[in-house]
Structure 1
Amino acid sequence: MTEQVLTEDTALQELGTKAKQAAKVLRGLSATEKNEALSAMMESLKNNEEKILSANKIDIENGKENGLTDALIERLTLTEDRLAGMAEGLDQMTKLVDPTTQSDGQWVNDQGLKIGKVRVPLGVIGIIYESRPNVTVDASGLCLKAGNAVILRGGKEALNSNQAIIEALQEGLAKTSVPETSIQLITDPSRELAAKFMKFNECVDCLIPRGGAGLIQAVLKQATVPVIETGTGNCHLYVHESADLEMAKSLLINSKTHRVSVCNALETLLVDKSAAAEMLPELGKALLEAGVEIHGDEETCNLIPEATPATEEDYSQEYLGYEIAVKVVEDYQGAIDHIDKYSTGHSDVIAATDYQSIQNFLNDVDSAAVYVNASTRFTDGEMFGFGGEIGISTQKLHARGPMGLEALTSYKYVIEGSGQIRE
């Protein structure tokens, strides 16, 4: 088992060097060899279930003692079903097409050069994340399948869980042609080491933060390694005056309460003024029955007496809990203006039957995922058919939305000639 306790710069350097060496090996492996490694990781994860769950219980107990919120405890918690789902995710990855076996095109130029554009791994990917041990498995599997080595830096609240998971995954890799050092974990939770990791350009090719707004902004501000910004999710549901009320109610409750602690959960409800008197009391009743606290503007509070007055901050909030911001908007343009101002560019949805309003919404809202009459909870790599995800990118360069295997690759040009020189 690889020693990974990092307390000094030399240890971080050693870990990075091993990752670079592993990335060179991965670049030359076949899709079959990588799939065999994923299968071995899956079996080892299953075989170490008791050990992983025991480690997770320690993290949960520590988290409660340290005052972690219910939302963070929910993210942190592993169960037999969740572990089985993580193992199943690795199995599903074996069935996905390896993007590094694909060509993005081939052509011959005027000088007779045959030019090809082929997919290649990014190299060494660093992941900085909070609370969720399932990220350890998802990130490890996806990075490996795309031919990348990965260095993981999870939060201290999940340290025992992550260590147990990494040991299980490396135990599986030890039985294959893939180096154990393809997957490594930083076990020193200090911010000082994290800051050095963010500037580890010599060994890390790309950094992906996964967590709350605070973590993501900290990485964006401190990192010199290229960063892919993943999603803080202030997701909106706009109920247009033409919406079917029962459908809107169903979308609202599913988007908000199906799993409140994730970035694709709904955080803001907008309702057309012309439909508010009819629809908002029913929508509010459904939210209250589901245990959701409502923060609303003046008109919302008039129609839903249980609502509390909303502040400006409420409309910018990613609650990740049983709270929601509600606003009555003047009309369609009022909804678009609100979304433009407050949306984080993650997932926004319109509930409507009016064709033109639907088409306008799809064109006017510039988010990574824009929905018509469907729950925001579908913004997920597995739901999109990617077999999992490394995160949900809310930026526009390189990757956007749920990031599957292709987002973990770049490309290079290969040129074949027959002695051509440029004159």
Structure 2
Amino acid sequence: MSFITELAKNAKAAAKILALLPTPEKNAVLQAMAQALRDNCDAILAANALDLAQASQNQLSAAMVDRLTLNKARIDAMAAGIETIISLPDPVGEIRQFGTRPNGIEIRKMRIPLGVVCMIYEARPNVTADAGALCFKSGNGVVLRGGKEALHSSLAIAEVLHTVLRAHQLPEALITVVPDPDRGLLMELMQQKDYIDLVIPRGGEGLIKFVTENSTIPVIQHFKGVCHLYVDKDADLAVALNLLLNGKTQRTGVCNALEGLLVHQAIAADFLPQVSAALKEKGVKINACEHAAPYFSNATVLGAEEFGEEYLSLEIAIRVVDDFTMALAHIDRFGSHHTEVICTQNQATAELFQRSIDASVVMVNASSRFSDGGELGLGAEIGIATTKLHAYGPMGLESLTAEKYLVNGSGQVRQ
């Protein structure tokens, strides 16, 4: 048996133990994990420093380095995310009444763990703690295959979590980090359909495509985040400017950052000069359609089919649209089903936008940066599903479970 097959098999066996663990015991383990992350902050940061030094040598992009970087605040946020997960209802074992048939058979549905989840990710060491905690609470084993960029950090976080599992007489295989980033092992991991139930890749478009094309296990896709803000003709322009600045400049290297701004032509002459001054102050590079470009100095003019880029930096695409319908068409053509925002004071327009837009999160007068499991009350997220399998949007506890039918009779036979 190969190393990867044994690893996956052990995770499957461990998950069967976890599936029967009562909620109070799971919460006690999670509380110990949160505290252990805080207590071992220095050791985690020391491991992260090794990854950052390697990132510098390899000249990784600023966006990648931002995702890779840990500090005390981010480790505290990981621990706080686990504590939020503790406070959430445990979906495992939840019963939903489905009714009684005319023949007296009673039908219910019970929420159950998926089994073993495989996370494949790049320079995101926080995924190790987030995914570990979410899978633990939802009764799933998890196999974590991080990129080489974050390997030291991921292994350090995993060791902290393993210390807690050992103290509670639980198998370490519940949270497994593949210690070797070799691409051949990744290929083998994606073939373990006898032991792994779901693969969730998080990272660049190339990684998502590679996993989707090569996995024999079902894949939840977390594609790129080409998120737009549409400023409607009935928008409060001060609110719109704040949404733009927060969405684009607060943190650029994340999938819920804004990459596109759409402005209704009726308010373009009033709004775009404000946008120009504000984004110039923040050092944002402007790519714009021919109607928006004159409001900016040194804007790169984009053709009609040149939108849809995920910049992950201080760069944005701006387009003036004729009307609401043109805004919808642009988002339909260039959006990535992640997060879309409208700024408007017209309630009917807001509701039509939310009904019409095909994205996993559709917002009215709120920053795209809230499209995040923690911000939406999930504690943390294991990914943002941009494909409609059983989940769409930030995936929390319930998204890591399925339902099975429970059928109770009193001797009925089918005629």
Name the structure 1 match of 2:238.
246
In structure 2, the residue matched to 1:377 is: 369
Q: Does structure 1 residue 90 correspond to structure 2 residue 78?
A: no
One-letter amino acid of the structure 1 residue matched with residue 190 of structure 2 = M
Aligned to 2:92, the other structure's residue is in SS state helix
Counterpart for residue 36 of structure 1:
28
Report the AA paired with residue 379 of structure 1. Answer: S
- Determine the C-alpha separation between the residues in 1 that align with 2:159 and 2:187: 25
Question: What TM-score results when the alignment is normalised by the length of structure 1?
Answer: 0.95
Query: What's the counterpart of residue 222 of structure 2?
Result: 230
CA deviation map 1:347-380 (0-9, x unaligned): 1111112233222212221111111111111111
TM-superposed deviation, 1:101: 3.0
**Per-residue displacement from partner, 1:175-220 (whole Å, max 9, x unpaired)?**
1143211000111111111112122111110000111211111111
Deviates more, 1:267-276 or 1:139-148: 267-276
**CA drift at 1:318:** 0.9
8 Å contact kept, 2:83–2:379: no
Structure 1 pair 44–359 and aligned structure 2 pair: CA distance change class (3 A): closer
- Deviation >4 Å, runs of 4+: 311-314
Aligned to 1:6: none
Give the distance between the partners of 1:417 and 1:385, measured in 2 at CA: 39
Tell me the distance in 1 between the aligned counterparts of 2:33 and 2:209. Answer: 33
Distance 1:99 1:177, change over 3 A: farther
The 2-side partners of 1:355 and 1:97 are apart by 33
- Amino acid paired to 1:348: E
Residue 45 of structure 1: how far off its partner (Å)? 1.8
For 2:327, which of 332, 335, 341 is the aligned residue? 335
Q: What is the one-letter code of the residue matched to 2:171?
A: P
SS of alignment partner, residue 111 of structure 2: strand
Aligned match of 1:287: 279
SS, match of residue 267 in structure 2: helix
Distance change >3 Å, CA 38–CA 314, structure 1 → 2 = farther
Q: What residue is the counterpart of 1:257 in the other structure?
A: 249
Determine helix, strand or coil for the equivalent of 2:292: helix
Give the aligned partner of residue 161 of structure 1: 153
Shift of 1:41: 1.6
**What's the counterpart of residue 350 of structure 1?**
342
Q: Percent identity?
A: 45
Asked whether 1:278 is paired with 2:270, we answer yes
The equivalences for 1:9-158 within 5 A come to 10-158=2-150
For 1:165-314, what aligned pairs fall within 5 Å after superposition? 165-310=157-302, 314=306
Cα distance in 1 for partners of 2:295, 2:175 equals 54
Query: Residue 107 of structure 2 aligns to a residue in which SS?
Result: strand
Do the aligned residues in 2 keep the contact of 1:40 with 1:175 (CA within 8 Å)? no
Q: Which of the residues 384, 387, 395 maps onto 1:403?
A: 395
Output the CA distance in 2 between the equivalents of 1:357 and 1:414. Answer: 44
Does the C-alpha gap of structure 1 residues 65 and 364 become closer, same or farther in structure 2, counting only changes over 3 Å? same
Secondary structure at 1:413 match in 2: strand
3-state secondary structure, aligned to 1:256: helix
**Contact 2:5–2:189 (Cα < 8 Å) also in 1:** no
| Matches of 1:217 and 1:359, distance apart in 2 | 34
Q: Return the offset for 1:310.
A: 2.5
Counterpart of 1:4?
Answer: none
Question: How many aligned positions are there?
Answer: 415
Secondary structure in 1 matching 2:199 = strand
Displacement of 1:105 in angstroms is: 2.2
- What is the RMSD of the two structures over their aligned residues, measured on CA atoms? 1.3
Give distance in 1, aligned partners of 2:347 and 2:134: 39
Residues 323-362 of structure 1: per-residue CA shift (max 9 Å, x gap): 1011111211111111110000111111112233222212
Work out whether residues 289 and 304 of structure 2, in 8 Å CA contact, stay in contact via their aligned partners in 1: no
Scaled by the length of structure 2, the TM-score of the pair is 0.97
161-170 vs 360-369, which moves further = 360-369
CA distance in 1, matches of 2:303, 2:124: 30
- The residue identity in structure 2 corresponding to 1:217 is K
- For residue 421 of structure 1, what is the aligned residue in structure 2? 413
Conserved 8 A contact 2:84-2:378 = no
Alpha-carbon offset, residue 10 of structure 1: 0.8
Alpha carbons 1:150, 1:182 under 8 Å: kept: yes
CA contact (8 A) 1:349 1:372 kept: yes
SS at match of 1:411: strand
Which letter maps to 1:185?
V
SS of match in other structure, 1:101? coil
Offset of 1:106 from its aligned partner? 4.0
TM-superposed deviation, 1:313: 7.0
SS in 2 for 1:29: coil
Shift of 1:385: 1.2
User: Please, which runs of 5 or more residues in structure 2 have no aligned partner?
Assistant: none
